[in-house]
Structure 1
Amino acid sequence: MPADFDVVIVGAGAAGLSLAYHLCAPGSAVPLSVALVDAPPGPLRAPPRTWCFWEPPGGDYDPVLAASWPRLRVRAADGAPTVARLSRLRYKMLRSDAFEALVERRLSRTPALSRIEATVSAVRDRPSGGGEVLSRDAYGERVLVRGRHVFDSRPPRRLPPARTTLLQHFTGWFVRTERPAFDPATADLMDFRTPQPAHGLSFGYVLPLDTRTALVEYTEFSPAPLDADGYRRALRHYAHDVLGLGPLRVTAQEHGVLPMTDGRFPPRQGRSVYRIGTAGGATRPSTGYTFAAVQRQSRAVAERLRAGRPPRMPLPYGRRARAMDAVMLRALDSGRVDGADFFGRLFRGVPGERLLSFMDGSSRVHEDLLVGLRTPVAPMLRTVLELPFRTRRDPPAAPLPPSPADHEESTP
């Protein structure tokens, strides 16, 4: 027999768990029955991963953060540092296993929430109203879950038509060095002392947990990911030749691929079926940051449902932010701007917290104009004039690659 709920959430990643967390907060005006459908343990379930975002101290997830930093640093290709000292905000790192445990504690106190382990094959509207999720459990038995509202957080199978499509792809090592090598109060947001690809840009990223432990990543913005050997070579070069870390042990690693596109991700795929997370447009096209937008999206949806009102999917980023992202992506993809120089100019010329507000899409018009003056004006204006005449096309690439993560102990 099918199971019926007020709300069905497909997927227990950042977007699915966040929506469940906010829906199950104490004090709802209208009690809701909620089903959270996730794949059984195995290759279809997302591996442990790391999310980073910025907000003031005292956020909901502060008790389970892996670390937070009051200073951010960007290094130019010649090594010259720019340090932003944050007074109002903190740059925060949250590990998915800690987040899942926190959410699980709340969900376990919510009798009206059901966890269902099943592999989803289809999500669709029902002719009679509401939506349904078709799936099979670990034994191959058919599982049908129905809901008045269904929220699908699975990654998009294909990217939408766009004028510009790039990928942000990265591999990171959690390393333990033999000697102190890191400043635990400073995160390296972008380090451009990496060999730049022919198309796009690359940079290093260092998040220290203590003086000898850090997440060290190599990231590219480019049309296609590297193979495993390409990431390994890039990380070895960055860790040993650039950072000079010396002997180290890799305790875990993670890999990810995020869309950087001015394509439009529709927030609905039916009358009663909604897309959330990356598939719902929560990934910022110009930076790849997603987690903060997921929280805004989840809170807004949960507030309406808990008050007995129908959901209204908020746009994660406003029209002005999306227009600026489209210009930046096209300017970078066309080669009109040098990526390392572009981001270096921004961090050198714009106060740190103002720039973070800009990157989060929460800055005001006059702040956007001040930021724009720190970019290469002529190439950007040329791109602004060109964009209306460019046609949105299907990306030439195949569907987004999966983002596996291996956990190991080794010496590179």
Structure 2
Amino acid sequence: MEFKEFENARLSLGLSVGDTCALVDSNKRSYARWRNKGDVPDEKFELLIETTKISKDDNKQLTASIDYLRVRFRTCQFQRIINEVMGLGNKPFISEVYSRYGYTGFESFNHINLYYAVDDDQQGTLIEMTGQGCREFEWYLINEQKRSWTDFFKKCYEFSSSFEDKHFDRKDFVRFTRIDIALDEHYSEIGNYDLGRLNEKKEAGLISRKAKKYRFIDCESNKKSDGKTIYFGTRQSDVMLSFYEKDYEQCAKLKLELSTYHKLYGLKNRYEIRLNGDASNKFIFDHIHKKTDIGLEAIKVLNYQLQVFEIKDSRRVLDIEWYSIFGVTDVVKFEMKPKYFPIGEKEYQWYERSVAGVRKRLEIIENITGKSRLEEIDELAEVKEKFRPQLDYLAEKYGVEILYD
């Protein structure tokens, strides 16, 4: 197999060369030889697939997960929220001057973001987690706190009890202003649902939908498909549905072949249900008080928003293919997909993808010209004050001392 495909697979998994060599029973010398030759033994690639592929329940067609979350609190006491609600008080958050969503304060720990107003309890504090942030937070929920998403949601409400002396609407103190539920359809060698057919049904009048806005996109770049995407609703809607071919989207992003992505991740389509405002808040409130299953409730929302039909014996009936996925309650499984992100991992990945090649070229230039500008640049480089808490945290963890000057 081509080394380039093997290398892109490694990068997509966030693995170092050393970790990869250990997984495939090899060493860095062999890795360098594969790179120079431009190919990798097939058995080594298969071993990488075997040791890293995402496990799944073959009896389930869909896997549900939380892929985005925003929670707003009517208090500026963001540190209490980090400590008491999120359970991340011992983590080195970075403070930055950054304005977004109308907030003036910003704290972040890897992919977990927190915005706050300096002196306005009404605007308060906002927790934001993207997909990677949700995966990272799940790692700490499971491995350090022995909690679930349900426990976290409950804690958000319980936190308001300590503010009884404040003049606010208790029901409005905590608001889940957005939640995205991702329903991932597992890749099947015998075939998956074709999103192009859904667009054809829309054109044929065989779809009934609540959303007024509809958009179908079939992207292509460099004569290769980037996949189909369908939107029902807009970002401002209470409910927006977004369906897309995740395998094509990720292959374009990670520069992988489809077959490699299917072997590594086992996914085909993603069906996202984005809930905003009252719809989001009610979804989580019902989950806590009615003990609903997040995956099943997401499918209920989808089925309420969208109905798909076919013509059979001159009659309009529910589409069998569509409802074989979304009409059966035992096809979905809600999962937490925890992922640990070591401090510095984002920077390592950025450096490897964007900087390492440039630095290598500059080193060669310096070998030719005899100049040493890189050494001068490195000597003058400084670590910004805002990053020092992270480095101090690591130094204490590993029992070493740091000299910044």
Q: TM-score range by the shorter chain?
A: under 0.3
From the two aligned structures, give the one with the greater helix fraction. Answer: 2
The TM-score normalised by the length of structure 1 is 0.22
Look at both structures and tell me which one has the larger radius of gyration over its CA atoms. Answer: 2
From the two aligned structures, give the one with the greater strand fraction. Answer: 1
The TM-score normalised by the length of structure 2 is 0.23
